[in-house]
Protein backbone atom coordinates (compact mmCIF):
# COMPACT_ATOMS: atom_id res chain seq x y z
CA UNK A 1 0.00 0.00 0.00
CA UNK A 2 1.41 3.37 -1.00
CA UNK A 3 1.97 5.78 1.88
CA UNK A 4 0.08 9.10 1.61
CA UNK A 5 2.07 12.09 0.42
CA UNK A 6 2.66 14.52 3.34
CA UNK A 7 0.86 17.83 3.08
CA UNK A 8 3.09 20.83 2.43
CA UNK A 9 2.27 24.16 4.09
CA UNK A 10 3.75 27.62 4.45
CA UNK A 11 2.94 30.32 7.00
CA UNK A 12 4.26 33.55 8.45
CA UNK A 13 6.26 33.47 11.67
CA UNK A 14 3.36 34.82 13.74
CA UNK A 15 1.49 31.50 13.63
CA UNK A 16 4.36 29.01 13.67
CA UNK A 17 3.94 27.91 17.31
CA UNK A 18 0.18 27.70 17.01
CA UNK A 19 0.51 25.55 13.90
CA UNK A 20 2.92 23.23 15.72
CA UNK A 21 0.30 22.69 18.42
CA UNK A 22 -2.49 22.23 15.88
CA UNK A 23 -0.43 19.64 14.03
CA UNK A 24 0.30 17.83 17.28
CA UNK A 25 -3.43 17.75 18.06
CA UNK A 26 -4.14 16.29 14.64
CA UNK A 27 -1.42 13.69 15.13
CA UNK A 28 -3.27 12.50 18.22
CA UNK A 29 -6.23 11.74 15.94
CA UNK A 30 -4.01 9.82 13.51
CA UNK A 31 -4.71 12.18 10.62
CA UNK A 32 -2.46 13.25 7.76
CA UNK A 33 -0.48 16.29 8.87
CA UNK A 34 1.01 19.19 6.96
CA UNK A 35 4.68 20.03 7.37
CA UNK A 36 4.72 23.82 7.65
CA UNK A 37 7.57 26.11 6.67
CA UNK A 38 7.33 29.35 8.67
CA UNK A 39 9.10 32.41 7.25
CA UNK A 40 8.47 36.15 7.09
CA UNK A 41 5.02 36.86 5.68
CA UNK A 42 6.41 38.88 2.76
CA UNK A 43 8.78 36.06 1.84
CA UNK A 44 6.00 33.48 2.13
CA UNK A 45 3.79 35.42 -0.29
CA UNK A 46 6.69 35.81 -2.73
CA UNK A 47 7.34 32.07 -2.70
CA UNK A 48 3.72 31.34 -3.54
CA UNK A 49 3.79 33.98 -6.27
CA UNK A 50 6.98 32.42 -7.65
CA UNK A 51 5.14 29.15 -8.21
CA UNK A 52 6.23 26.99 -5.27
CA UNK A 53 3.63 24.30 -4.59
CA UNK A 54 1.97 24.34 -1.19
CA UNK A 55 -1.08 22.40 -0.11
CA UNK A 56 -1.93 24.96 2.59
CA UNK A 57 -1.01 28.65 2.78
CA UNK A 58 -1.63 30.58 6.02
CA UNK A 59 -0.94 34.31 6.00
CA UNK A 60 -2.42 37.63 7.04
CA UNK A 61 -5.87 38.00 5.51
CA UNK A 62 -4.95 40.87 3.18
CA UNK A 63 -1.89 39.09 1.79
CA UNK A 64 -3.76 35.83 1.32
CA UNK A 65 -6.63 37.68 -0.33
CA UNK A 66 -4.21 39.05 -2.93
CA UNK A 67 -2.95 35.54 -3.65
CA UNK A 68 -6.54 34.33 -3.99
CA UNK A 69 -7.36 37.18 -6.40
CA UNK A 70 -4.38 36.09 -8.50
CA UNK A 71 -5.72 32.52 -8.60
CA UNK A 72 -2.81 31.10 -6.60
CA UNK A 73 -4.88 29.79 -3.67
CA UNK A 74 -8.49 28.95 -3.02
CA UNK A 75 -10.99 30.88 -0.91
CA UNK A 76 -9.32 32.15 2.30
CA UNK A 77 -10.88 31.06 5.58
CA UNK A 78 -10.25 33.18 8.67
CA UNK A 79 -8.50 31.22 11.43
CA UNK A 80 -7.24 33.65 14.08
CA UNK A 81 -7.41 37.28 15.11
CA UNK A 82 -4.09 38.39 16.58
CA UNK A 83 -3.41 41.62 18.49
CA UNK A 84 -0.19 43.61 18.61
CA UNK A 85 1.36 44.00 22.07
CA UNK A 86 4.07 46.25 23.47
CA UNK A 87 7.25 44.99 25.14
CA UNK A 88 10.49 46.24 26.66
CA UNK A 89 13.76 44.59 27.75
CA UNK A 90 13.28 42.62 30.96
CA UNK A 91 15.53 44.95 33.01
CA UNK A 92 14.12 48.24 31.68
CA UNK A 93 12.09 50.74 33.69
CA UNK A 94 8.36 50.37 33.24
CA UNK A 95 6.94 53.07 30.91
CA UNK A 96 3.33 54.21 30.75
CA UNK A 97 1.45 52.97 27.69
CA UNK A 98 -2.04 52.97 29.18
CA UNK A 99 -3.46 55.69 26.94
CA UNK A 100 -2.76 57.14 23.53
CA UNK A 101 -1.25 60.24 25.11
CA UNK A 102 0.99 58.14 27.36
CA UNK A 103 2.05 55.94 24.45
CA UNK A 104 2.93 59.05 22.46
CA UNK A 105 5.25 60.27 25.23
CA UNK A 106 6.81 56.82 25.61
CA UNK A 107 7.50 56.66 21.89
CA UNK A 108 9.17 60.07 22.00
CA UNK A 109 11.33 58.97 24.94
CA UNK A 110 12.39 55.64 23.42
CA UNK A 111 15.99 55.20 22.35
CA UNK A 112 15.06 52.81 19.51
CA UNK A 113 11.71 51.31 18.51
CA UNK A 114 11.44 47.83 17.03
CA UNK A 115 8.57 46.79 14.81
CA UNK A 116 7.88 43.86 12.52
CA UNK A 117 7.44 43.38 8.81
CA UNK A 118 4.00 42.69 7.39
CA UNK A 119 0.62 44.28 8.08
CA UNK A 120 1.11 44.87 11.80
CA UNK A 121 4.29 46.82 11.15
CA UNK A 122 2.60 48.87 8.44
CA UNK A 123 -0.28 49.58 10.85
CA UNK A 124 2.16 50.78 13.51
CA UNK A 125 3.79 53.18 11.04
CA UNK A 126 0.34 54.46 10.08
CA UNK A 127 -0.44 55.03 13.77
CA UNK A 128 2.82 56.93 14.24
CA UNK A 129 1.94 59.04 11.21
CA UNK A 130 -1.51 59.76 12.66
CA UNK A 131 0.14 60.85 15.91
CA UNK A 132 2.30 63.28 13.93
CA UNK A 133 5.51 61.58 15.06
CA UNK A 134 6.93 60.21 11.81
CA UNK A 135 9.55 62.95 11.41
CA UNK A 136 10.55 62.85 15.08
CA UNK A 137 10.95 59.08 15.19
CA UNK A 138 12.22 58.22 11.71
CA UNK A 139 15.84 57.75 12.84
CA UNK A 140 14.79 55.55 15.79
CA UNK A 141 12.44 53.15 14.01
CA UNK A 142 14.06 49.75 13.46
CA UNK A 143 12.24 47.17 11.36
CA UNK A 144 13.18 43.61 12.24
CA UNK A 145 14.61 41.59 9.34
CA UNK A 146 12.17 39.06 7.89
CA UNK A 147 11.91 36.07 10.21
CA UNK A 148 13.67 37.82 13.13
CA UNK A 149 11.36 38.40 16.11
CA UNK A 150 11.19 41.84 17.69
CA UNK A 151 11.63 40.06 21.03
CA UNK A 152 15.17 39.11 20.05
CA UNK A 153 16.04 42.72 19.25
CA UNK A 154 14.68 43.75 22.65
CA UNK A 155 16.55 41.04 24.54
CA UNK A 156 19.80 41.89 22.75
CA UNK A 157 19.43 45.61 23.46
CA UNK A 158 19.08 46.68 19.85
CA UNK A 159 15.82 48.46 20.66
CA UNK A 160 14.29 49.75 23.91
CA UNK A 161 10.62 49.47 22.92
CA UNK A 162 9.05 46.82 20.69
CA UNK A 163 5.75 46.16 18.94
CA UNK A 164 4.73 42.77 17.55
CA UNK A 165 1.96 40.18 17.63
CA UNK A 166 1.36 39.01 21.20
CA UNK A 167 1.70 35.42 19.95
CA UNK A 168 5.31 36.14 18.97
CA UNK A 169 6.20 37.96 22.18
CA UNK A 170 4.69 35.40 24.56
CA UNK A 171 7.27 33.35 26.48
CA UNK A 172 10.21 35.03 24.73
CA UNK A 173 13.23 35.29 27.08
CA UNK A 174 14.75 38.58 28.12
CA UNK A 175 11.68 40.78 27.63
CA UNK A 176 8.70 42.10 29.57
CA UNK A 177 5.32 42.43 27.89
CA UNK A 178 3.53 45.63 28.90
CA UNK A 179 0.20 44.57 27.41
CA UNK A 180 -1.83 45.40 24.36
CA UNK A 181 -2.12 48.72 22.57
CA UNK A 182 -4.09 51.40 24.44
CA UNK A 183 -7.72 52.20 23.55
CA UNK A 184 -8.01 53.79 20.13
CA UNK A 185 -4.63 52.43 19.02
CA UNK A 186 -5.41 48.73 18.71
CA UNK A 187 -3.73 46.82 15.87
CA UNK A 188 -5.40 43.55 14.92
CA UNK A 189 -4.44 41.10 12.19
CA UNK A 190 -6.64 38.32 10.89
CA UNK A 191 -4.68 35.25 9.80
CA UNK A 192 -6.40 33.09 7.22
CA UNK A 193 -5.67 29.79 5.49
CA UNK A 194 -6.38 28.54 1.99
CA UNK A 195 -5.77 25.47 -0.15
CA UNK A 196 -2.95 25.99 -2.64
CA UNK A 197 -3.84 26.12 -6.33
CA UNK A 198 -1.68 23.13 -7.25
CA UNK A 199 -2.28 21.06 -4.13
CA UNK A 200 -1.92 17.36 -4.79
CA UNK A 201 -4.37 16.63 -1.96
CA UNK A 202 -6.92 19.46 -1.80
CA UNK A 203 -9.43 17.40 0.19
CA UNK A 204 -6.88 16.57 2.92
CA UNK A 205 -5.71 20.20 2.98
CA UNK A 206 -9.30 21.39 3.30
CA UNK A 207 -9.87 18.93 6.14
CA UNK A 208 -6.96 20.42 8.09
CA UNK A 209 -8.31 23.94 7.53
CA UNK A 210 -11.69 22.84 8.82
CA UNK A 211 -9.96 21.43 11.90
CA UNK A 212 -8.29 24.81 12.48
CA UNK A 213 -11.78 26.29 12.74
CA UNK A 214 -13.06 23.68 15.20
CA UNK A 215 -13.83 24.04 18.92
CA UNK A 216 -10.75 21.95 19.73
CA UNK A 217 -8.56 24.31 17.73
CA UNK A 218 -10.19 27.37 19.34
CA UNK A 219 -8.86 26.28 22.73
CA UNK A 220 -5.32 26.06 21.33
CA UNK A 221 -5.70 29.42 19.59
CA UNK A 222 -6.56 31.00 22.94
CA UNK A 223 -3.43 29.60 24.56
CA UNK A 224 -1.36 31.48 22.01
CA UNK A 225 -2.88 34.86 22.81
CA UNK A 226 -5.23 34.91 19.83
CA UNK A 227 -8.94 34.52 19.25
CA UNK A 228 -10.75 32.54 16.53
CA UNK A 229 -11.77 34.61 13.53
CA UNK A 230 -13.63 34.37 10.25
CA UNK A 231 -12.81 36.24 7.09
CA UNK A 232 -16.40 36.99 6.13
CA UNK A 233 -19.65 37.15 8.10
CA UNK A 234 -20.76 34.04 6.22
CA UNK A 235 -18.95 30.78 6.92
CA UNK A 236 -16.16 30.69 4.36
CA UNK A 237 -15.46 27.04 5.19
CA UNK A 238 -18.55 26.13 3.20
CA UNK A 239 -16.54 26.83 0.04
CA UNK A 240 -13.88 24.23 0.87
CA UNK A 241 -13.86 20.90 -0.98
CA UNK A 242 -15.72 18.19 0.90
CA UNK A 243 -13.56 15.76 2.84
Q: Where do the domains of the chain lie, and which CATH numbers do they carry?
A: 7-81+191-239 (3.40.190.10), 82-180 (3.40.190.10)
With 0-12 CB in 10 A as exposed, 13-18 as middle and 19+ as buried, what is 215? exposed
Contact, 78 vs 61, CB < 8 A?
Answer: yes
Predicted pLDDT at 118 = 79
Predicted pLDDT at 5 = 66
pTM score? 0.81
Q: What residues form DSSP beta bridges with 12?
A: 39
Predicted pLDDT at 190 = 94
* Residue 227: C-alpha distances to residues 30, 128, 222 (Å): 26, 26, 6
- DSSP helix/strand/coil, 151: helix
Q: In whole angstroms, what is the distance from residue 109 CA to residue 133 CA?
A: 12
Predicted pLDDT at 106 = 98
Predicted pLDDT at 4 = 56
Contact, 158 vs 169, CB < 8 A?
Answer: no
State how beta strands 188-195 and 56-60 pair.
Answer: antiparallel
Q: In whole angstroms, what is the distance from residue 12 CA to residue 1 CA?
A: 35
Largest Cα–Cα separation, the chain: 66
Could you read off the pLDDT tens digit of each residue along the chain, which spans 243 residues? Answer: 344 567 899 998 889 999 999 998 888 776 667 789 998 888 999 999 999 999 999 999 999 999 999 999 999 999 999 999 999 999 999 999 999 999 999 999 999 999 998 788 999 999 999 999 999 999 999 999 877 899 999 999 999 999 999 988 998 999 999 999 999 999 999 999 999 999 999 999 999 999 999 999 999 999 999 999 854 433 333 333 333
Q: Using alpha carbons, select from 90, 228, 72, 224 the residue that is nearest to residue 152.
A: 90
With 0-12 CB in 10 A as exposed, 13-18 as middle and 19+ as buried, what is 239? middle
With 0-12 CB in 10 A as exposed, 13-18 as middle and 19+ as buried, what is 146? middle
The CA R_g of the chain, rounded to the nearest whole Å, is 19
Amino acid sequence: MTAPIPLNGISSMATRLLLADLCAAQAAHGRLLPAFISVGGVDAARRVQAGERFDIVMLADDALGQLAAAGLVGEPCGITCSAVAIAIPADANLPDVGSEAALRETLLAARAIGYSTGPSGAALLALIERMGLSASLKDRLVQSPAGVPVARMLAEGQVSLGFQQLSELMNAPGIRILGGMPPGCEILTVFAAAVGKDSAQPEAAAEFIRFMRSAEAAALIGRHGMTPAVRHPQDAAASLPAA
